[in-house]
Copies of this chain bind each other. A is one copy, B any other.
Amino acid sequence: MIYSKTCQYAIRALNYLATLETKKPATVGEVHAKTGVPQAYVAKIFQCLTRAKIVASKSGPNGGYALRVDPAKLTLLRVVDALDDVSESPLSNCVMGQAECSDRNPCCLHTVWVKAAAEMKKKLAKVTILEAGKATARAYRSETGRTVLSRRMQKVFGYGTAKGDRE
């Protein structure tokens, strides 16, 4: 779901990968430290994004995850679709949860909603990770070694005191 934490986390994680100029991949631990997304959950999400060929994984020392596609071409729609069980997504299904919902057999919101979903998809297909990332880029300070979110950005993101934080 677009509105799920899983999607939020994925976008944050990908935004971070997009800020990396070097080809060196980022480890799960690093992404967690920089984005505040729960470490083990980052791992799960990246497994999914790997299958969707959005990121490439590499085992071993100096391994990790890196974007596999140009962030300027990676749309939110593709990201959302990768994480969504499409058969469940409200973007591709009846809002009223009807088994059948078509122009012939419309649910009570069919006409309204079909349009709304199409508009939303269009929007998601327009915004790229590169664009989205720009707005967040300033949240990261990449100078020192064990960088973390700035105090101010911790407040913005609403974490920094999360359980499971390793540093």
Residues of chain A at the chain B interface (Cβ within 8 Å): 1-3, 5, 8, 11-12, 15, 76, 90, 95-101, 105-110, 112, 116, 119-120, 123, 127, 132-136, 155-158
Going nearest first, the 10 A-B pairs with the smallest beta carbon separation are A99-B158, A108-B132, A108-B135, A108-B136, A3-B90, A8-B97, A100-B156, A8-B96, A105-B156, A98-B156
Verify B112–A123 contact, CB threshold 8 A.
yes
Contacts of A90 in B (CB 8 A): 3
Q: How far is the CB of A149 from chain B (nearest CB, A)?
A: 12
B158 contacts A98, CB within 8 Å? yes
A96 → chain B closest CB, angstroms: 5
Known: A3-B3, A123-B116. A99 touches B132 (CB 8 A): no
CB distance from A12 to the nearest CB of B (A): 7
B contact residues around A132 at 8 Å (CB): 108-109
A12-B96, A97-B158, A106-B135 are known contacts; what are 6 more A-B pairs with Cβ within 8 Å? A3-B90, A12-B108, A99-B155, A99-B156, A108-B136, A116-B119
Q: Is there an interface contact between A95 and B3, defined as CB atoms closer than 8 Å?
A: yes
Determine the distance from Cα of A54 to Cα of B51 in the docked complex, in whole angstroms: 47
* Chain B residues, Cβ within 8 Å of A134: 108
Q: How far is the CA of A3 from the CA of B116 in the complex (A)?
A: 13
Most central of A1, A105, A107, A158 by chain B CB within 10 Å = A107
Contacts of A112 in B (CB 8 A): 123, 127
Closest partner residue, chain B, to A127 (CB atom): B112
CB A99 to nearest CB in B, in angstroms, measures 3
Residue in chain B with minimal CB distance to A102? B156
